[in-house]
Amino acid sequence: MRLHTASEVISLARKLENESAGFYKGLSGKYGKDEAALLSFTGENIKNVSQVERAYYGSISDAIEGGFAFDIEADNYAFEASLADNASYPEAVNKAIEIEKLIAGFYSDAAGQSQSLMADVQRVFKLLARKRAERIEKLGLLLRSAQADSG
């Protein structure tokens, strides 16, 4: 499904954040290892939704919303937020890294497309893309630690 309006893209951002928050909440419950870090990602996701919505509502106008500010294919950012019951912790962290890369790509793409019309939204999207890159690094550390523990 192609998204064209700011409202549609904000809704996708909310969906990605909420689904990945659920994924991290599930991981924290399933794997005791790194529970605090995984739960902190859930809290960050909730804050991210609020930050995106604030920027959007603070800068949107009927003229922009009525127009076509974006050309984003939502399916390019879809992910499955569940794991096989027998998935190992390293497999789960690898899946988290894949999800983070997808979401970071969404924010980068959305930032690029919103730069000329919605500067505040663009800044938030860029910020969240950077935060996702940092999270990927944190997950990489968790993965290396898990692999060292099992090897």
Q: Is residue 10 a part of any domain in this protein?
A: yes
Q: Is residue 113 a part of any domain in this protein?
A: yes
Q: Is residue 36 a part of any domain in this protein?
A: yes
Domain span holding position 93: 2-79+86-146
Please give the pLDDT value at position 26. Answer: 93
Please give the pLDDT value at position 114. Answer: 84
Q: What is the mean pLDDT of the chain?
A: 89
Please give the pLDDT value at position 52. Answer: 92
Q: Work out how many domains the chain is built from and give that number.
A: 1
Average pLDDT over residues 59-83: 78
Span 1-41, pLDDT tens digits: 999 888 899 999 999 999 999 999 999 988 888 999 999 99
Q: Is residue 151 a part of any domain in this protein?
A: no
Q: What percent of the chain shows pLDDT beyond 70? A: 93
Please give the pLDDT value at position 66. Answer: 42
> How is the chain classified by DSSP, letter by letter?
-EE-SHHHHHHHHHHHHHHHHHHHHHHHHH--TTHHHHHHHHHHHHHHHHHHHHHHHHH--HHHHHS----EEGGGG-------TT--HHHHHHHHHHHHHHHHHHHHHHHHHHTTT-HHHHHHHHHHHHHHHHHHHHHHHHHHHHHHHH-
Q: Nearest CA to 97 among 133, 44, 56, 47? A: 133
Tokens of 114: 């919103």
- pLDDT for residue 109 is more than 90: yes
Please give the pLDDT value at position 99. Answer: 97
Looking up residue 75, the CATH number of its domain turns out to be 1.20.1260.10
Q: Is residue 35 a part of any domain in this protein?
A: yes
- pLDDT for residue 67 is more than 70: no
